[in-house]
Amino acid sequence: MNNRPADLSSAIPALVSPPALSAPRPSGESPPIKLGILASGTGSNFVAIADAIAHQQLAAQIQLVIYNNPDAPVAKRAHERGIAAHLVNHRNFSQREVFDQQVADLLQAAEVEWVIMVGWMRRVTQVLIDVFPDRMINIHPSLLPSFPGIRAVEQALAHTVKISGCTVHLVRLEVDSGPILIQAAVPVYPEDTAASLHARIQAQEHQIIVQAITEIGQN
């Protein structure tokens, strides 16, 4: 007999709570919002954004992908889509502020309007925040404010929570502390491992990151 509870993922709605982001764009048809993507790993959320743009489901364009790990698969995924990808290896910088200034310079040169952090495993400094105030968002694999920081999925399992999820939020200096834009809940099953739970959370991440950018573009 299967004791797993009914799959609640379709029954639990995304929880939307957008703060005031910025001054609204002029009325009429707005140009595509110009995005800069920061990623450290596989880039599955980058792919979700790029595919939504390609299928005309998202009025945006990706100006540049910046990655900090030389072997990050996101670079190949960007190149396959004809999107510029630039390595800024954090190991070559003795100070976080100098690293962030290099990142900021590249984003500004690419005329980026909004910075989207998808699996960006670096703590930002005030240097980067000051260049893009209230124009940086991050996606995190938990229902913040629960389980900020690294290994959020493992933290959720260790605390035996019944519902986990993911959050898109504005970036602030303190890790995973910014105003919440949108969240999606994901049930946790008794047999879940970090890999199985993370896979279901990622499926929701791919949806809410696109939704968050859509709402940004409408303001």
In tens, the pLDDT along 126-171 reads 999 999 999 999 999 999 999 999 999 999 999 999 999 999 999 9
In tens, the pLDDT along 44-73 reads 999 999 999 999 999 999 999 999 999 999
Q: What is the pLDDT of residue 6?
A: 42
Choose, from 140, 169, 198, 206, the residue flagged as catalytic: 140
Q: What is the pLDDT of residue 106?
A: 98
| Predicted structure pTM score | 0.86
How many whole angstroms from its chain centre is CA 156? 19
Q: What is the pLDDT of residue 25?
A: 45
With pLDDT > 70 as the criterion, what percentage of the chain qualifies? 87
CATH no., domain 32-217:
3.40.50.170
**190 pLDDT exceeds 70?**
yes
CA-based end-to-end distance of the chain = 50
In tens, the pLDDT along 7-49 reads 444 334 444 444 444 434 444 567 899 999 999 999 999 999 9
In tens, the pLDDT along 95-109 reads 999 999 999 999 999
Q: What is the pLDDT of residue 184?
A: 98
C-alpha 158/C-alpha 156 separation (Å) is 5
Indicate if 140 belongs to the active site: yes
Q: What is the pLDDT of residue 29?
A: 63
State the pLDDT confidence band at 217, using cuts at 50, 70 and 90: confident
**210 pLDDT exceeds 80?**
yes
- Cβ atoms of 146 and 92 closer than 8 Å: no
**200 pLDDT exceeds 80?**
yes
